A and B are shown apart, each in its own frame.
Chain A
Amino acid sequence: MKLKRWFGVLIVSSLLTLMLIWGFNYVVDPFGVFGDRFIKWHSYNFVNNPRIAKIGYLDRNYEKYNGYVIGGSKSSSINPTLLNKYYGGDTNFYGMLMYGGDFFDYEKTLHYIVENYNVEHIVLHMSMHEMSHYHEVKKAMNNDLHAKVLGEPLLPFYMKYLSLNLGYGKDKLEGLLKRRYDPMESNQFIPETGVYNKSVRDSEDLGALEEFLEKYPEFNSPLPKMDSSGAEENLKALARMKVYCEDRGISFMFMVAPTYYREMERYEAEGVQDFLDKAAQITDYWNFSGYNTVSYDARYFYDPMHYRNNVGEMILAKIFGDKSVEVPEDFGEYRIVN
């Protein structure tokens, strides 16, 4: 065979192989970038990367929602269904939680959903760990933001996910087989609401505090210290988000999450106080952090960093004055802009 022709075959074969790989990644879509049209296992995609998969999901389903809870993983315990009840009318909230997020992620996400979806209400939820970082360079596939959210060119982004390592798709297909034996396999998210599925943890018998601490010894250990190096940038972003929503007639609520006392201890007290005071110069907000009845009782938490869904119910009851839910007196403080 002539060399020229041989190279032709080599190039055509390479392109065909590449197209087959693209086809595989498009069909299996392990990150939900393309909307997961074939397998439709959105929960799996959300586990891989909620930032990207939720955009892929909402691009096809945004008409169902008009309110969004934006925040880190803790915001999962703010139940969108309960928010719908408290807001009333035709409100339908969606949980845009992204683990390890900061105000850069939140602001970018806010802009995207406001510009592309029908948004009437925004609840911005601060986990507290945001204090230590702002716009960190994300290296892992599960932390990437969608190019649409970042405003970056779409072609390289889609090419990246079309040319994914086949191992990601393989894992998803293997997960389908595993699901036959374990219905909870990669079902940690509820795609329709965007929040974590905590049905197993919520049904556990918590018992007395001593027993609980014995069962979950991680609650007894101090957590690594965190600084407040991201506080200023996060505050600026908070101010921008508030103005952005107000300018567009979107209701804006900001809340700071409850924290287990071990988590509170990891932050610089002065830095936290300064942040909370400065936040109060930007907007009214609800602060559930700090030391109170909830923060000292580990049973209100799934782990030292995440409060339970029943605490989320207490938060909403406190905010909306629902007396049917028992809320400790010292839990939650409304700070009015000064």
Chain B
Amino acid sequence: MIFTSYGFFVFLIIVLAVYRLLNYFKFEPVAKIWLILASFYFYGQGGKDFLPYFVGSVFFNYIIGSTLIVTEDLRSKKFLLVLGLVENLGLLGYFKYANFFVDNYNALVGGNLSIGKIILPIGISFFTFQLIAYLVDCYRGETKEYSVVDYLLFITFFPQLIVGPIVHHKDIVPQFQSQQQSKFDRDKFFLGLFIFAIGCGKKVLLADPLTSFAKPFFANVSEYGFFHGWLSALSYTLSYYFDLSGYADMAIGMGLLFNVHLPENFNSPYKARNFRDYWRRWHMTLSKFLSDYVFRSVYKKGDKSFKFYFAVMTTFFVSGFWHGAGWQFIVWGIVNGIFVCMAHFMYRRKWSLPSGLAWFLTFAGVVGTRILFVSKGLRGSIAVYRRLFDVSGFANMGLSEILFELGKFASYNAYTILVLIIAMGIGFFARNTREITEDFSLGYKHAVIIAVLLVVSLIQMSIVSDFLYFQF
């Protein structure tokens, strides 16, 4: 079920209304169970076939986690942790990476092994991270035993279940345990509505038009020219931001409707002046998870520089592999890791570039790596890079002819260019959602913004597009 669909709106209204009513009549435990059942239903709508695995995995992890908490013996704890990790990584590995390994095995030995097409269960990459974090914390003794209801709410709470933000049990469970949680908080509710409307607008009005323009180019590079290539590359770069941050805003907004704070996921990443800065602003909950559970597993305080850079590269290698089962994602991770290492290297030596140049180079790097990310494999990305720098089509043209072609292209794609300019203006210069909501109040301005964004988004939802991160 897509957030930006009429079906989801009906679902949300029903779930929210029943949840609020149950809390109003002091049936708090029932309200929590209602929310869990609604979340399982929501998940089932996206992948009925995987629902039994999902339910089974969630309960299995709860049993392992609860046992880890009460187990004193280190060997037993290690065994339980390994068992839990094997289950989580096994499911993820099978559904997401099995075909990748089989393909590479076949390519390496010239084999003909086949395991058939495996459909990736929706959201598996995200909730697997949350489950692993939970188990690791149980092992480290950093977790108290949660009731099964609170634990289930932490994993299944539908606003964050599919594409994040990736939540940590320490941030979420205490909120559901709080006495305040069941009370209706008017300010939070309307703030949630406002953030939800912003997310809707980002997705429907900015991300979708840009994605629908860019996708055909990346699917069939040879059919398009120079101008189309550049407009597509820029469009996809911007659409990825508005798509993912739009989803995050909607999730955060919905969280507040249920009186739950979800963590911020984006902080104006396209204003970054280097890649170190960029990854602190982009998909922040993923970065935090990777930092806590991968980077810090490799790098310990006091280690030498080489270990630091090695830890950075390892983290980005994992990030790349997490994003997708393909070599282009691994290369994407490595390139990002190199850029982040370069930024750290400059930072440690107190080197800096003029602000404008630093921003330009960073954004150019983002566009370049985004091409790797969205192309059809490594070869596809090379074809895209070639198209972007292939000016042979203009070889026999004078300036006036080139300008004519440019004018024609602009006329043919006026709407996309307009949306791209607006998206760039917002991405580069405007305040982000958190900054905008800092001065939220029940005033005219915010009522008008909510009304305009929600009504226009609802009209535009007659054509529904998947969120780009659904593929992960």
Contact = CB atoms under 8 A, between A and B. Distances in A.
- Verify that A and B bind, or say they do not: yes
B463 A178 contact: no
B393 interface: no
Interface stretch (B26-34, B228-236, B299-307, B448-456): B448-456
Interface residues of B, number: 25
A167 B456 contact: no
Interface in B433-448: 441-444, 447-448
Interface in B409-450: 411-415, 441-444, 447-448, 450
Nearest to B409: A181
Contact of B447 (A13, A166, A177): A13
B186 A9 contact: no
Contacts of B450: 10, 13
Contact of B442 (A1, A11, A14, A166): A1
A18 interface: yes
Contacts of B415: 170, 173-174
Contacts of A10: 447, 450-451
B5 interface: no
B412 A165 contact: no
A33 B197 CA distance: 31
A41 to B, nearest CB: 16
B460 A166 contact: yes
Contacts of B460: 165-167
Given A6-B447, A13-B451, A177 B456 contact: no
Interface residues of A, number: 26
B296 interface: no
A2 to B, nearest CB: 8
A6 B459 contact: no
Contacts of A16: 451
Contacts of A273: none
A17 interface: yes
A6 B442 contact: yes
Nearest to B460: A165
Given A3-B186, A165-B462, A166-B460, A13 B411 contact: no
Contacts of B462: 164-165
Given A177-B412, A181-B408, A165 B448 contact: no
Contacts of B448: 9, 13
B414 to A, nearest CB: 6
Interface string B202-213: 000000010000
Q: Which of A9, A163, A165 has the most chain B CB within a 10 Å cutoff?
A: A9
B463 A167 contact: yes
B455 A21 contact: yes
A11 B448 CA distance: 9
Contacts of A18: 455
Contacts of B413: 174
A308 to B, nearest CB: 29
Contact of A17 (B186, B443, B455, B463): B455
B452 A177 contact: no
A177 B414 contact: yes
B455 A9 contact: no
B374 to A, nearest CB: 22
A17 B452 contact: yes
A323 interface: no
Interface of A: 1, 3, 6-7, 9-14, 16-18, 21, 163-167, 170, 173-174, 177-178, 180-181
12 contacts: A1-B442, A1-B443, A3-B186, A6-B442, A9-B444, A13-B450, A13-B452, A17-B451, A21-B456, A165-B462, A166-B456, A173-B415
Closest 6 CB pairs between A and B? A13-B451, A9-B447, A177-B411, A17-B455, A14-B451, A10-B447
